[in-house]
Amino acid sequence: MKLLVTGGAGYVGSVCAAHLVTAGHDVTVLDDLSTGHPDAVPEGAQFVKGDLTEAAADVLAEGFDGVLHFAARSLVSESVQRPELYWSGNVVASLRLLEAMRLHGTPRLVFSSTAATYGEPEQVPIREDAPTRPTNPYGASKLAIDHMIGSYAVAHGLAATSLRYFNVAGAHGRFGERHTVETHLIPIVLQVAAGTRESVQIFGDDWPTADGTCVRDYIHVDDLAAAHVLALDHSETGRHAVYNLGSGTGFSVREVIEACRAVTGHPIPAVVAPRRGGDPAVLIASSEAMIGELGWRPERTDLATIVGDAWRFTREHQGV
């Protein structure tokens, strides 16, 4: 298929673009490089530098079979302080993209949604029919886009899938996580091992969990990318499917730090700090729907494998 990957120079977008090229698709990456990196566009993909509001319509005019939409702002704390960036950069820009797709008759969409659409869960594992009560503008903006996509499927026959990721980690060859502002646990812990940061802060050790630290569901970015390829292949005209994507196992902050110590051989000093605003205690996905309906089989669920791949990537990029 001829596919447009928005945000394909970012972390998840670049790994998915690489998987799509390998699967034999004709891939064009559209990215404004506000947070992405030009060298993260995979070989074999075309690259267009531009943003969704201005460039998407021009590019889609060439005629595409589908769009995989990753381009977004994704920092929770920034979204609390500057919500306008999220309503504009995520919601308005996605509306422009949907309109460009409608204008040019692009039939399929796979959207990068998030577990943040659910907010504080009543039950874990979290299923797709759980209440959606996002606790920050980032999650609210992604939920608004999910609703827009649903309405376009009904009204305009779009074949659409929203994939709600839990905690994405790991790397794929030379494609991995390198944010200018790093907020995620595993890259931060590995920065300590690489010597670019002195210690890691544990945001609260008084949570109602076995060791008092928050529990999250870490999914390998390769398993995530495989799910996007499946979602594209199974998309149906006029249907908006929503699937959660995680490994189904929770690991605490302390367990993650311990796994990083084992993989890197570095002592990784950790300091307990106050809780971070907006963090739920436990987030674990039920991926039963994706597994049962689309035959998804996550293969790299072991924390040591996930951390090991991320560590190899960190060393290559930081010259450790």
Q: Which residues bind ligand UDP (CB under 6 A)?
A: 167, 183-185, 188, 200-203, 214, 216, 253, 276, 279
Instruction: State yes or no: is 118 an active-site residue.
Output: no
Residue 135 beta carbon to ligand UDP: minimum distance, rounded to whole angstroms: 11
Pick the closer one to ligand UDP by CB: 14 or 167: 167
> Are 306 and 300 a contacting pair, CB within 8 Å?
yes
In this chain, which residue has its C-beta nearest to ligand UDP? 214
User: What pairing do the DSSP bridges indicate for beta strands 159-165 and 167-169?
Assistant: unpaired
| Annotated catalytic residue within 11, 86, 118, 138 | 138
Residue 266 beta carbon to ligand UDP: minimum distance, rounded to whole angstroms: 16
Pick the closer one to ligand UDP by CB: 52 or 185: 185
Residue 262 beta carbon to ligand UDP: minimum distance, rounded to whole angstroms: 18
Pick the closer one to ligand UDP by CB: 279 or 302: 279
Pick the closer one to ligand UDP by CB: 279 or 288: 279
Q: Which residues are identified as catalytic?
A: 138
